[in-house]
């Protein structure tokens, strides 16, 4: 792999950039791999990357129905934080956040991780108490967060209206080392690194069946031929239920549209990420200058990557109330993705009833932030059979009632 650097750009500039090679090789599937990952989104690619880096497993294929990173990896609002309440979540998301800090250098690909800080607003007494609780939990979990008052909120985010009239800001839970990253670059950077390790990234390859020998998985049929594998990892977000059905088990997952939108770009006016759960909306400003906005999920299950206008309306209304100046910005574009929701809104990283078949899904509305940690943990689970980070996220927890419920503190948005 030719390394990227300012020097490399200067060198290429002199020859009209004719020397750049493909970021990742275009591969046709081989007939057999040690591990096949289905789904070349961020989580699938991160899993492959850490299988290679941490466990020396490089005879790996990542197969993708469409184009790499085209699902929720390329549709989310890029928020990265780890101020979760429950211990298992906090461990996983903090691992992930810390991996983001070194990701650009690890991958030699600038994913533009921007630790600009995430603020979760408290606008009711109840919400405030929830965040006080989270701050206590985070302190014991080794995560740096603190509850700040309205004056400090106004100082770090001057465009916010903290005086209501409807819901005055009572303070917020502030995680200074949280932030955002460039979502597409995460997928591209991992793909490039995986390809460099000799892994095959096979796009335009749809799985049509899972083959088994008794209770054990042996491979896949795809639109580009049959592929045998020793271990199979399913990392397909909204379509997890369909893949599980092919493998012969059921998942407690529902698929729901989640929408987001951006404004036209403007000069910098907001340096942090703000999540306002009482009014249901969150916003940050991309490096390009667009205000990136998200809200709650649609009220019905669907596989369409669009949603109803009512949710856009509610989200924008909430944010106009919180940031009055955006009233005079224009909505440039709205879009939707399909999020896979579990009963407790926490993910599943698990063995399955099918031997050697593993599943990583259920990230709901909050998967992007977990990308590197999810890959790290899932790779460990697949390679060694267990990981302390995934231990609580097995799918048997729904049968046992051992839920990991974050909605306790987080309200709507992850």
Q: What is the 8-class DSSP label of residue 163? A: S
Q: How far is the CB of 211 from another protein (least distance, A)?
A: 29
The label of the residue with tokens 């399913």 reads: 234
Pick the binder of another protein from 146, 212, 224, 242 (CB under 8 A).
146
Between helix 183-196 and helix 87-107 the angle, nearest 10°, is 70
Q: Which of 96, 123, 255, 365 binds another protein (CB under 8 A)?
A: 123
Between the alpha carbon of residue 316 and those of residues 78, 101, 150, 334, 366, the distances in Å are 18, 31, 22, 11, 20
Does 389 participate in binding another protein (rule CB under 8 A)? yes
Using CB under 8 A as the binding rule, the residues of this chain from 228 to 267 that contact another protein are: 263-267
Nearer to another protein, 3 or 214 (CB): 3
The CA distances from residue 395 to 347, 357, 360, 391, 414, in Å, are 9, 13, 10, 10, 20
Question: What sign has the CA pseudo-torsion 349, 351, 354, 356?
Answer: positive
Asked whether the bond before 165 is cis by omega within 30 degrees of 0, the reply is yes
Instruction: Give 131 or 363: the residue with its C-beta nearer to another protein.
Output: 131
Length of the chain: 414
From the CB of 369, what's the least distance to another protein, in Å? 17
Q: How many CB atoms lie within 10 A of CB 195?
A: 21
Q: CB-wise, 135 or 229, nearer to another protein?
A: 135
Question: Residue 151 interacts with another protein (CB under 8 A)?
Answer: no
Per DSSP bridges, beta strands 79-80 and 32-38 are: unpaired
The correct pick among 142, 198, 299, 353 for binding another protein (CB under 8 A) is 142
Please pick, from the candidates 41, 52, 130, 219, the single residue that binds another protein as defined by CB under 8 A.
130
Candidates 109, 190, 378, 393: give the one binding another protein (CB under 8 A): 109
**Residue of the chain from 137, 217, 275, 382 that contacts another protein (CB under 8 A):** 137
71 contacts: CB under 8 Å, gap ≥ 6: 39, 41, 236, 237, 238, 337, 338
Size of the residue set binding another protein (CB under 8 A) = 121
Q: Which is nearer to another protein, 258 or 329 (CB)?
A: 329
Q: How far is the CB of 225 from another protein (least distance, A)?
A: 21
Q: Is 279 in the site for another protein (CB under 8 A)?
A: yes
State in angstroms the smallest separation of the CB of 209 from another protein. 25
161 binds another protein (CB under 8 A): yes
Of 167, 174, 282, 376, the one binding another protein by CB under 8 A: 167
* Among the listed residues 125, 163, 214, 385, the single contact to another protein using CB under 8 A: 125
CB of 331 to another protein, least distance (A): 6
**Among 29, 189, 366, 375, which residue sits at the site for another protein (rule: CB under 8 A)?**
189
Q: Using CB under 8 A, which residues numbered 293 to 352 contact another protein?
A: 304-306, 308-309, 312-313, 316-321, 324-335, 343
Interacting stretch for another protein, rule CB under 8 A, among 42-50, 130-138, 221-229, 234-242? 130-138
Residue 335 vs residues 38, 261, 298: alpha-carbon distances, Å: 24, 6, 12
188's CB contacts (< 8 A; 6+ apart) are 23, 24, 68, 69, 109
Closest CA to 43 of 59, 64, 24: 64
Q: Which tokens hold the place of 21?
A: 């090679």
259: helix, coil or strand? strand
Residue 402 near residue 343, CB atoms below 8 Å: no
Residue 126 is a binding residue for another protein (CB under 8 A): yes
Query: Which residue lies nearer to another protein by CB, 246 or 269?
Result: 269
For tokens 């009239």, name the residue. Answer: 165
d(CA 188, CA 54): 20
98 contributes a contact to another protein by CB under 8 A: no
CB of 325 to another protein, least distance (A): 4
Question: Which 14-43 residues touch another protein, going by CB under 8 A?
Answer: 16-18, 20-26
Q: Is 166 in the site for another protein (CB under 8 A)?
A: yes
Please state the closest distance from residue 101 (CB atom) to another protein, in A.
8
**C-alpha to C-alpha distance for 194 and 203, rounded to whole angstroms:** 14
**Minimum distance of another protein from residue 32's CB (angstroms):** 25
* Structure-token match 């100046």, residue found: 325
């Amino acid at each position: 792999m030719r390394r990227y650097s300012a020097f490399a750009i200067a060198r290429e500039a002199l020859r009209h950039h004719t020397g750049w090679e493909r970021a990742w090789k275009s591969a046709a599937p081989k007939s057999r791999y040690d591990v096949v990952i289905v789904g070349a989104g961020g989580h699938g690619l991160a899993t492959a990357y850490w299988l290679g880096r941490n466990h020396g497993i490089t005879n790996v294929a990542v197969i993708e129905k469409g184009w790499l990173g085209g699902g929720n990896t390329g549709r989310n609002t890029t928020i990265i934080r780890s101020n979760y309440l429950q211990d298992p979540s906090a461990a996983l998301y903090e691992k992930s956040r810390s991996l983001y800090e070194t990701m650009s250098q690890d991958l030699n690909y600038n994913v533009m991780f921007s630790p600009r800080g995430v603020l979760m607003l408290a606008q009711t007494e109840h919400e405030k108490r929830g965040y006080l609780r989270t701050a206590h939990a985070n302190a014991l979990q080794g995560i740096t967060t603190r509850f700040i008052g309205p004056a400090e909120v106004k100082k770090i985010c001057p465009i916010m209206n903290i005086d209501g009239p409807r819901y005055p800001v009572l303070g917020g839970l502030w995680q200074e080392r949280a932030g955002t990253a460039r979502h597409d670059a995460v997928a591209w950077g991992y793909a490039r690194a995986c390809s460099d390790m000799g892994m095959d990234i096979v796009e335009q390859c749809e799985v049509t069946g899972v083959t088994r020998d008794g209770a054990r998985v042996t491979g896949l049929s795809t639109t580009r031929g049959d592929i045998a594998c020793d271990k199979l990892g399913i990392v397909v977000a909204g379509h997890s239920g369909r893949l599980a059905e092919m493998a012969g088990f059921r998942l407690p997952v529902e698929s729901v549209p989640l929408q987001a939108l951006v404004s036209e770009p403007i000069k910098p006016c907001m340096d942090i990420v703000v999540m306002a759960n009482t009014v249901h909306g969150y916003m940050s400003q991309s490096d390009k200058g667009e205000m990136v906005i998200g809200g709650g999920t649609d009220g019905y299950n669907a596989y369409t990557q669009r949603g109803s206008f009512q949710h856009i309306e509610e989200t924008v209304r909430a944010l106009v109330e919180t940031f009055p100046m955006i009233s005079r910005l224009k909505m440039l574009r709205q879009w939707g993705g399909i999020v896979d929701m579990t009963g407790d809104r926490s993910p599943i990283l698990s063995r399955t009833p099918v031997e050697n078949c593993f599943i990583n899904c259920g990230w709901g509305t909050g998967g992007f932030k977990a990308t590197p940690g999810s890959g790290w943990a899932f790779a460990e689970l697949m390679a060694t059979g267990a990981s302390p980070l995934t231990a609580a996220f097995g799918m048997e927890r729904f049968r046992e009632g051992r839920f990991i419920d974050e909605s306790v503190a987080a309200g709507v948005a992850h």
